[in-house]
């Protein structure tokens, strides 16, 4: 039986054509960033190859979409508790991401170096894995941020991490 709704994240005309040929009732296209529609024409072709609805993860991602009024759906969750204060009064921030260049985690490390240079105690926990992890570890060492930077690896207890941080930092330029 064909699906009532297909939720697409990536791809151009071909995935939508496959959905239509498979008899999908409706196609919803999820735009994650401006890059999604800057790299190619987002929804070209005849009407039957276009999505029935478009959603976006932010106002910025939705801003450049022509011919649609995207619904913005933020990727947020409620965090039930405030983090415990650190014994030394420092700020504890976290990064929860795939460790890849577009996520710009190096920007966080440079910012932490400036914050510490201003005399503000700060600890950073980075949860995730990916191809730039070795270079991030080297950068943290070069900037003199160790041991206050902790690389936690892949974690599934994201809610407990979020509740232990004073702030979640998401420096990504794409999502």
Q: Which residue has the tokens 């969750």?
A: 77
Residue 140, helix vs strand vs coil: helix
pLDDT of residue 39: 41
pLDDT of residue 8: 86
Q: Is 104 left (phi over 0), alpha (psi -120 to 50) or beta?
A: left
Q: Which residue has the tokens 């910012």?
A: 111
Q: In whole angstroms, how far apart are CA 48 and each of 5, 6, 39, 40, 170?
A: 15, 14, 22, 19, 36
Question: Which run of H or of E encompasses 161?
Answer: helix 158-164
Q: Is 164 left (phi over 0), alpha (psi -120 to 50) or beta?
A: alpha
pLDDT of residue 17: 85
pLDDT of residue 99: 94
pLDDT of residue 175: 59
Q: In whole angstroms, how far apart are CA 37 and each of 51, 113, 156?
A: 14, 35, 31
147 preceded by cis ω (within 30°)?
yes
pLDDT of residue 97: 92
pLDDT of residue 106: 96
pLDDT of residue 40: 45
Residue 68, helix vs strand vs coil: coil
Q: Give the residue ranges of the chain where pLDDT is below 70.
A: 11, 34-46, 48, 76-87, 174-175
Q: How many Cβ atoms from other residues are within 10 Å of residue 33's Cβ?
A: 18
pLDDT of residue 66: 75
pLDDT of residue 41: 52
User: What is the arrangement of strands in the sheet containing 149-153, beginning at the earlier edge strand?
Assistant: 149-153, 122-127, 91-96, 167-168
What does pLDDT average to over the chain?
A: 84
């Amino acid at each position: 039986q064909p699906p009532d709704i297909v939720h697409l994240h990536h791809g151009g005309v071909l995935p939508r054509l496959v959905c239509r040929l498979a008899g999908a009732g409706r196609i919803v296209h999820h735009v994650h960033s401006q890059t999604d529609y800057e790299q190619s024409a987002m929804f070209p072709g005849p009407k039957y190859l276009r999505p029935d609805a478009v959603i976006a993860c932010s106002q910025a991602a939705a801003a450049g979409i022509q011919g649609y009024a995207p619904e913005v759906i933020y990727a947020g969750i409620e965090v039930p508790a405030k983090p415990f204060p650190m014994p030394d009064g420092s700020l504890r921030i976290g990064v929860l991401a795939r460790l890849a260049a577009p996520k710009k985690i190096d920007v966080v490390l440079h910012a932490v170096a400036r914050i510490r240079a201003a005399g503000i105690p700060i600890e950073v926990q980075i949860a995730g894995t990916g191809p730039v992890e070795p270079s991030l570890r080297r950068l943290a060492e070069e900037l003199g941020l160790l041991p206050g930077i902790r690389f936690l690896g892949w974690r599934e207890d994201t809610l407990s991490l979020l509740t232990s941080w004073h702030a979640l930092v998401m420096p990504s330029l794409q999502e």
